[in-house]
Amino acid sequence: MKSARLWTRNFVSVSASSFFLFLAFYYLLVVLPIYSIQSLHGRESEAGLIVTVFLVAAILVRPLAGRWMERFGTHRVFLLSLVIFAGMASLYTLPSSMAGLLLLRFLQGIGFGMATTAAGSIVAAIVPDSRRGEGMGYYAMSMNLAMVLGPFLGLTALHKWGGGVMFLLSFLFAAGALAAAFLIRVPEQSSVRPAAKASILEMSALRISLIAAVFALVYASILSFVSVYAKKIGLESVSSYFFVVYAAVLLLSRPFTGRLYDRYGANSIVYPAFFCFAAGMLLLSQAEAAAGFLTAAGLIGLGWGTLFPSFQTIAIQGASPARRGAATATFLSIFDFGIGIGSFLVGLLAVHVSFRSLYGYSAIIIAAGAVMYGVLQAQANRSKRNLQKKQAS
């Protein structure tokens, strides 16, 4: 039988739109803390709030976005969200204080939360059921590429071209997301239902989402402060290459880790990934030269780059087919909350504890998360065996 078409104009357009949306997100995520400290004379605790207020706004607006999509249609809400996101991106040169920058971040976070919720609903509506896993994998890859390119481009722009060009590029990325969204044609009959479901928590995904949030606390310290840390230890010239190495290892390992997951199950790659992630954080805490700094990037890319999609897959697989959209929304919302809280806490702690110590202590958090995961898996296996016994009897 001929398989259903995946690479339609709708699928390419929503993937491209999400790529540019997340490119702008990750781009600003790494440069704004530095910009706020250097240009707005903010403290490191306030720099952590830049991420927190953005993600809090995104989390708060998602349930409302579901209602708006139900009333006005998913595509209209998606377009409106990207207008808000791009509009706020055009204003970054205006704030002259941390308060103004935080307000701008909160408003842009509203657009981001609406956009990510609507985009997930559109993808759920247009990907053929027979190619659901493949389609979601390629869609997620667009965001993974943005996660890699955004920090590299942001740090390059900050160090070479200054704030004006840096913020112009962020606006162009946001405008690219809006332009691609105009090419989408969502089937009218399926534009409402996924949106309503995506705004409701999926309880089966809750436990693995909370575990992912624990690891997000650690990852937030990388996203928000690795460039600040590199400057403090005299490695500012190679800080932008951190995410290049991270990306290269992530992309090269993804086909192998994916096959191992499918063939031997999640544990076959999750436990080695815990070790790589912890080892990378320990090495980062002790880095004094470019070699150690970039080797740490590779280990973190292999570790966290494997854990994140594995956790998301577990969250989706635990839900019924009709609830997979809700499981994805639950996972991302709780994960975003972990990133936001982590950025804020690291900013607060950095006033009293060195980044070297913080990155070293992160290995303890990873170990605690690994224990939590092991307990979760044991409970899940017991529940599965009990269900099989009941069905057999």
Q: How far is CA 161 from CA 92, 213, 235, in A?
A: 16, 35, 19
CATH number of the domain where residue 99 is located: 1.20.1250.20
Residue the block writes with tokens 């004379």: 41
Residue 40 belongs to a domain:
yes
Q: Are residues 301 and 215 in the same domain?
A: yes
Q: Are residues 378 and 232 in the same domain?
A: yes
Q: Are residues 387 and 297 in the same domain?
A: yes
Q: Are residues 107 and 22 in the same domain?
A: yes
Average pLDDT of the segment spanning 100-109: 94
Residue 102 belongs to a domain:
yes
What residue numbers bound the domain in which 181 lies? 7-199
Residue the block writes with tokens 């993600």: 55
Residue 1 belongs to a domain:
no
| Closest by CA position to 332, among listed 206, 220, 247 | 206
Q: Domain ends where: 160, 178, 199?
A: 199
Q: Domain ends where: 148, 179, 199?
A: 199
What is the pLDDT at residue 298?
Answer: 93
Q: Are residues 207 and 193 in the same domain?
A: no
**Contact between residue 159 and residue 240 where contact means Cβ atoms under 8 Å apart:** yes
Interval 200-254: pLDDT, tens: 577 878 889 899 999 988 988 887 778 788 888 888 878 778 878 887 887 777 6
Q: Domain ends where: 152, 177, 199?
A: 199
Q: How far is CA 63 from CA 82, 113, 242, 312, 376, in A?
A: 17, 10, 35, 20, 27
**Contact between residue 142 and residue 16 where contact means Cβ atoms under 8 Å apart:** yes
The answer to whether residue 85 scores a pLDDT higher than 70 is yes
User: Long-range contacts: 266-273, Cβ < 8 Å, 24+?
Assistant: 266/310, 266/313, 266/314, 266/377, 267/377, 269/306, 269/310, 270/306, 270/307, 270/310, 270/373, 271/370, 272/306, 273/302, 273/303, 273/304, 273/306, 273/307, 273/310
Q: Are residues 177 and 57 in the same domain?
A: yes
Q: What does the DSSP assignment read for 232-256?
A: HTT-GGGGGGHHHHHHHHHHHHHHH
The answer to whether residue 191 scores a pLDDT higher than 50 is no
What is the pLDDT at residue 387?
Answer: 67
Q: How many CA atoms lie within 13 A of 222 on its CB side?
A: 32
Q: Which two tokens stand for residue 12?
A: 């390419």
Q: Are residues 212 and 176 in the same domain?
A: no
**Contact between residue 238 and residue 159 where contact means Cβ atoms under 8 Å apart:** no
Average pLDDT of the segment spanning 357-361: 90
> What does pTM read for this prediction?
0.71
The answer to whether residue 354 scores a pLDDT higher than 90 is no
Q: Are residues 213 and 354 in the same domain?
A: yes
Residue 320 belongs to a domain:
yes
What is the pLDDT at residue 326?
Answer: 65
Residue 107 buriedness (CB in 10 A; 0-12 / 13-18 / 19+): middle
Residue type for position 189: Q
Domains identified in the chain, total number? 2
Q: How many CB atoms lie within 10 A of CB 165?
A: 12
Residue 2 belongs to a domain:
no
